[in-house]
Structure 1
Amino acid sequence: MRTSVVAPYAAYLRVYEPLAAFAEPERGRWAAYAATQPTDTPAAPEAHSTAELTAQEHRSGLENLLATPPVVAPPHESEDAYVQVLDGVTVVCPRQTRLRCWTALAELRREYPATVLDVFWPRVVIDQAQVDHERWKSEHPDVHPHIHSSTWHVPVRWFVLFTPDERILVPAADGAAAGPGELYYRTPMVQARRRVARALRVLRDSVEDGALITGLESVGRWLEEFHPRAMVELDYGGLVRLLSGDDLAAENSVGDVAEGIAALGSGDGARASAAYRRITERWQSVRALEHAS
C-alpha cells in the first residue's frame, strides 16, 4: 500500500545510464541494487512511483534545512537510484543527493550575495560545504550530476530533447483523490543529442537570443558526459498538481517547441513567434502561482 506523499513543485531532467557505463566497484553495487528494485514503467506503474521517491528526497531535504545547525549537504552520498528496464537493459540514474546539494549551493552563490545566503545558513556552514565540494571535485573530476531540477516551471530548452510521441502519462493509482498522476517524456540519448544539435543550428542562424542558445549549449555539453546508450527523461514532477486535468491532457510544450524550431528553419517567423508565445504564456501562468497567497 502506498503512503501519501506530495512531490515538490519541481520538474526534473534525468539521465539513466546502462550498468556498463559505471566502473567497478560502482557497477557491481548498482547491479545488486537494481536487482532488488521494482521498475517504474508505463506497463507496470503500480510497481513503485518515481514521484514517491522524489517526495521522500524532498522531505529529507526539509528536515536537513530545519536541523540545528542546518545541513547544507548530507554527510554521505546517497546510495539510492532510480531504476528502469528498457528493451531488457537495466539503466540507472543515481540520486547523488550530496553532489546535487553542493551544485545547487554553488549556483546560489553565483546568483545571490552572501548577505542573502546568510539568512538561510550560517556563514561557517556555507564555507565548509564549499570546501568539501572543492575537495570532492578534485578527487572525482569526471563525475557529473545525473539530475537537473527546476522549480515552478520546465525550462524551454529541456523540451528540445523530446518529441510529442514520447509522452508518457501515468494515471493516479488510486483514482482522482490521489492526484493527477505523473507525466514523463523519455528518449534515447542519441536522439536527445541529435535534437539539441539540430536546434542549435537553426537558432544560431535565426535568432539573437543569447540566453536561449547558451542554455541549450549547456544542456548539450551535459549530455555529452554520459554513455551514448543512456536514456534521458523529463519528469514534470509536482508541477502536474498545478495543472487541471484538461490542461494536463492538452499540455504540448514539447510539440510547440518542435513547431517553433521547424518554423524558424523554414523562415516562418510569425509561426515561430506564435509557438513561443503559447509556451511562455502557459508557463507564466504556472509560475505566477509561486507568489499566490
Structure 2
Amino acid sequence: MRSVTVWRTTVLPPYTAQLRVYEPLAAFPEPDRARWQARAAAHGPDAEGPDRPVTAAALAEQRAALAELAALTPRPLPEQEDGRAYLRLLDGVLHVCPWTTRLRAWQALQELQRTLPAHLVDTVLPPALRAAAEAGRAHWQQEHPDARPWIASSRWEVPLHWFLPFGEEDRRHVPAGEYGSSGEDERPEPAALFYLTPMAQARRRVARAYRVLRERTPGGSLADGAEEVGRWLEEFHPRSLVELDYGGLARLLGPRALAEEHSVGELADGLGALRAGDAAAALRAYERLTARWRRVLALRQAS
C-alpha cells in the first residue's frame, strides 16, 4: 500500500476539531470490509504509522461537502451515506473510521436548532426541508437502531473532556509543509496537531479521570463530560484507535501557539493534583485551560 501524502485544492480545513474512532477492518461486516480493503489496496491508506495525519482525506471530505452546497439544487443533507472512511494503517492492521456524513448531518441539524434563534434556523434551513430531514432520520433509525457516528465534531474549540483519553506521549505536532510530496499542482499541507492512542488506554484514562472527578467534584461539567465520552468509547471494538485531531484549529491557533499547545498534559496535571488532594492546584489548572479555550472561542466573533 502507498500512503496518501498530498492535497490538490485551495480549500482549507474549517475551524473544527474532530474526535475519531478507527475500528480494525475485521470489526466490520461485508460488503463494507471488502470495499475499504480494496480502496486501501488501490490508493493506499490516508495515514500510515502513528505520526502521519489524515489531513488530505479531511480536505477531501470538506470538498465533497462544499460541492453539495454549491450544486444547482443545494443539498444541505445527503440523500444517502457515501460509504467513505478515513483509513489508518498501524502495525500492519488497517483501521477504518467511516465518515457517516448523513448521520452527522442530522446531528448538526439538531445542534443548529438548539443553538440558533428560530428565525435564523428558518433562514438557513426552511421548515419544510427540516421536516423532510427529520422524517428521513426517523425512518432510517428504525432500520438502524444501533447506529452511532465514529466522528464527533466541535467548532472553534476542543471540549475539555475530549482531552481525557490521551496522554502527552500521544501528541503529534507536524508544522505546515513538513510532510507531503511536491509537484507542479501540489501544495504543502497545513500544520497538524493530533493525538492517537489505543482504545484500551483511552478507556482506562477516562475511567480513572471519571472516578476522581465524581468523588471530588460531583455534578461538575467535566465529570459529566467524562461520563459522556466514556460511554461513547464503550460502543466500539476494544482494539480500536482513538484520535483527537485539531483540524482547522491548528491554523486558527497559529504556529507559535500550536507548538506550545499542551492542554492534554495540563489537564492530566490538574487531575493528578485533584487526586493528591491539592484542590487549589487543580482549580488553577482548570481555570487556565478554560480561560485559554474561551479566548479561542471568542475568535468566532472577530471580523
Tell me the SS of whatever aligns to 1:237: coil
Q: 1:103 offset after TM fit, Å? A: 1.7
RMSD: 2.2
1:15-164 equivalence runs, <5 A: 15-39=21-45, 40-41=47-48, 45=52, 50-65=54-69, 67=71, 70-112=74-116, 114-164=118-168
Q: 1:66 offset after TM fit, Å? A: 5.1
Q: 1:275 offset after TM fit, Å? A: 1.1
TM-score of the pair, normalised by structure 2: 0.88
Aligned residue type for 1:8: P
Matched residue count = 289
Aligned residue type for 1:152: W
Q: Distance in 1 between matches of 2:31 and 2:176?
A: 37
1:166-205 equivalence runs, <5 A: 166-173=170-177, 178=188, 181-205=191-215
Identity over aligned pairs, percent: 49
Q: 1:280 offset after TM fit, Å? A: 1.5
Residues 7, 189 of structure 2: 8 Å contact kept: no
CA offsets 1:93-132 (integer angstroms, 9 cap, x no match): 1111111101211233344564331120111111111111
CA offsets 1:184-226 (integer angstroms, 9 cap, x no match): 1000011111111111100011114433222221111111111
1:233-252 equivalence runs, <5 A: 233-252=243-262
Given the superposition, is the C-alpha separation of residues 130 and 17 from structure 1 closer, same or farther in structure 2, using an over 3 Å criterion? same
Runs of 5+ unmatched residues, structure 2: 1-5, 180-186
> Are 1:259 and 2:264 counterparts?
no
Q: 1:2 aligns with which of 4, 7, 10?
A: 7
Worse overlay, 160-169 or 112-121: 112-121
Q: Distance in 1 between matches of 2:171 and 2:273?
A: 22
Q: 1:67 offset after TM fit, Å? A: 4.8
Tell me the SS of whatever aligns to 1:64: helix
Q: Distance in 2 between matches of 1:135 and 1:250?
A: 47
Q: Distance in 1 between matches of 2:102 and 2:202?
A: 27
Q: Distance in 2 between matches of 1:42 and 1:268?
A: 39
Q: 1:286 offset after TM fit, Å? A: 1.4
Residues 17, 153 of structure 2: 8 Å contact kept: yes
Q: 1:232 aligns with which of 239, 242, 246?
A: 242
Tell me the SS of whatever aligns to 2:259: helix
Given the superposition, is the C-alpha separation of residues 253 and 107 from structure 1 closer, same or farther in structure 2, using an over 3 Å criterion? same
Report the equivalent of 2:291. 281
Aligned residue type for 1:103: Q
Q: Distance in 1 between matches of 2:284 and 2:177?
A: 36
Aligned residue type for 2:88: Q
Q: 1:174 offset after TM fit, Å? A: 6.1
Q: 1:273 offset after TM fit, Å? A: 1.4
Aligned residue type for 1:183: L
Q: Distance in 1 between matches of 2:151 and 2:50?
A: 24
Worse overlay, 103-112 or 210-219: 103-112
Q: Distance in 2 between matches of 1:90 and 1:185?
A: 18
Residues 95, 146 of structure 1: 8 Å contact kept: yes
